[in-house]
């Protein structure tokens, strides 16, 4: 019988548990999403110490741990992530690595475009692109849903953001954005593919930013491209090459990094949408409840359970800003810390039957910024929580409605297993649909 945190004794006021051996990097690769939560169960603790890439690291799980982790007086992000993350996933100089006033200023730039009207515009464009793709899906015997949804999302987010994207370039740019997502946990060719994609995408978007700034490309005021191209850092947070009062704009490359921090996460919703389609297939009762598309609350609960249940980001990283004690454990300044997102979303102290897919758990459940954290915890405006989380929710919910009430299809025999060792993961077959038709 599998042991859970609920089965273990209360946290002891003793020295922090430590993993054995010189380094646990290979164990992290082997255990994947379960690495942190499995060891917390083993030690009966919300925190343990290990070595990852030969650096001492504290690992945490749970809502109370999340509250501590997102305290800006205790933790900082600058220099926290392993080098491969900014070189692939995040980009160097992006919002994920900023703290204090610099982070707040950059976060305001992101949040300024996350209005209900703007998000609705993106969803409308997504649905238009989905319908155009559906017209093509009906004419072929089968499709790989993950690949098709990726292209739909890439076209949609570029249209919404005002980023020019030629039809012949959709697959190339989508592949680059997918490579950024896959590279951090990859080794060998997949990692270097992500490094190359990072360079190519930054060059592409930096040139577009320059065209906007030179007046060669029109970007609607208030839109994503215009907002990012014209964003100015506050006094004291300008870049060295833009010291003059009229040169406080982000450097072209940093503006490109932040544009990628819009495009990449939206394309990454392809994984959640693929998992949503998988859940519809595995839980026919849910599909029946969603089949008429008349109750958005049912779709919302289903969407939230997809985000809770299926693996997305395994963990987030920070460094201790100043010495403090929590739950009898010393957190020394400079120590790297990982918070398990997947483990918290499956913590039996927070979720009954966490390994069961049950959308009804969200009936009358109040929103809590520390328990459902697939894209980070805390306040979107203040903390390092994904500013595009609302976009993610709305896109998944739209896709769920389109899948359940807007089209019919068969799911042929295929390998639908989801490995928790692969990060980020997908169904092994990437979900093949056959005989697609429109309802």
Annotated binding site for heme: 386
Nearest to 207 by CA among 199, 378, 157, 108: 199
Peptide bond just before 424 cis, omega within 30 deg: yes
Provide the β-strand partners of residue 59.
48, 338
Alpha-carbon distance of 122 to 52, in angstroms, equals 39
| Residue 169: both structure tokens together | 């370039």
Alpha-carbon distance of 273 to 260, in angstroms, equals 20
Chain centre to alpha carbon of residue 439? 32
Alpha-carbon distance of 436 to 434, in angstroms, equals 6
Q: What is the DSSP string of 217-273?
A: S---TTSHHHHHHH-BPPTT---GGG-STT--BPPHHHHHHHHHHHHHHHHHHHHHH
Pairing between strand 336-340 and 55-60? parallel
What residues are designated binding site?
386
CB contact at 8 A, 375 and 389:
yes
CA torsion, ordered 236, 68, 302, 175, to nearest 10 deg: 50
Sign of CA dihedral 399, 404, 408, 409: positive
Per DSSP, helices labelled H in 283-375 are: 284-290, 296-309, 341-345
| Residue 65: both structure tokens together | 């741990």
């Amino acid at each position: 019988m599998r042991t859970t945190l609920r089965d273990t004794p209360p946290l002891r006021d003793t020295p922090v548990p430590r993993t054995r051996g010189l380094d646990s990097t290979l164990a992290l690769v082997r255990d994947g999403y379960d690495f942190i939560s499995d060891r917390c169960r083993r030690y009966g603790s919300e925190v343990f110490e290990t070595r990852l890439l030969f650096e001492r690291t504290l690992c945490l799980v749970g809502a109370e741990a999340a509250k501590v982790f997102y305290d800006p007086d205790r933790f900082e992000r600058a220099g926290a992530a392993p080098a491969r993350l900014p070189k692939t996933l995040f980009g160097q100089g992006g919002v994920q690595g900023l703290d204090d006033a610099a982070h707040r200023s950059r976060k305001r730039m992101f949040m300024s475009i996350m209005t209900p009207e703007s998000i609705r515009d993106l969803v409308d464009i997504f649905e238009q692109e989905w319908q155009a793709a559906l017209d093509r899906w009906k004419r072929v015997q089968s499709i790989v849903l993950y690949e098709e949804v990726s292209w739909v999302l890439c076209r949609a987010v570029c249209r919404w953001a005002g980023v020019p994207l030629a039809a012949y370039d959709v697959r190339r740019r989508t592949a680059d954005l997918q490579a950024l997502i896959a590279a951090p946990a990859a080794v060998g060719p997949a990692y270097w593919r992500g490094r190359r994609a990072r360079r190519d995408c930054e060059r592409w978007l930096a040139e577009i930013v320059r065209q906007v700034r030179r007046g060669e490309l029109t970007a609607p005021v208030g839109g994503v491209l215009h907002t990012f191209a014209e964003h100015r850092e506050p006094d004291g947070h300008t870049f060295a090459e833009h010291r003059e009062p009229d040169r406080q704009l982000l450097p072209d490359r940093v503006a490109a990094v932040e544009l990628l921090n819009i495009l990449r996460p939206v394309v990454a919703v392809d994984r959640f949408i693929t998992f949503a389609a998988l859940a519809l297939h595995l839980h026919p009762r849910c599909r029946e409840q969603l089949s008429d598309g008349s109750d958005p609350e049912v779709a919302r609960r289903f969407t939230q359970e997809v985000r809770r249940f299926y693996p997305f980001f395994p963990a987030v990283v920070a460094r201790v800003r100043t010495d403090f004690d929590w739950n009898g454990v010393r957190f020394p300044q400079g120590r790297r810390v990982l918070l398990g997102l997947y483990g918290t979303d499956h913590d039996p102290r927070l979720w009954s039957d966490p390994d069961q897919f049950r959308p009804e758990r969200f009936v009358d459940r109040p929103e809590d910024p520390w328990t459902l954290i697939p894209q980070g915890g805390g306040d979107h405006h203040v903390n390092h929580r994904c500013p595009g989380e609302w976009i993610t929710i709305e896109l998944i919910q739209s896709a769920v409605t389109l899948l359940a009430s807007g089209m019919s299809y068969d799911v042929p025999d295929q390998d639908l297993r989801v490995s928790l060792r692969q990060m980020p993961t997908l169904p092994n077959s990437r979900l093949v649909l056959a005989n697609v038709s429109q309802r």
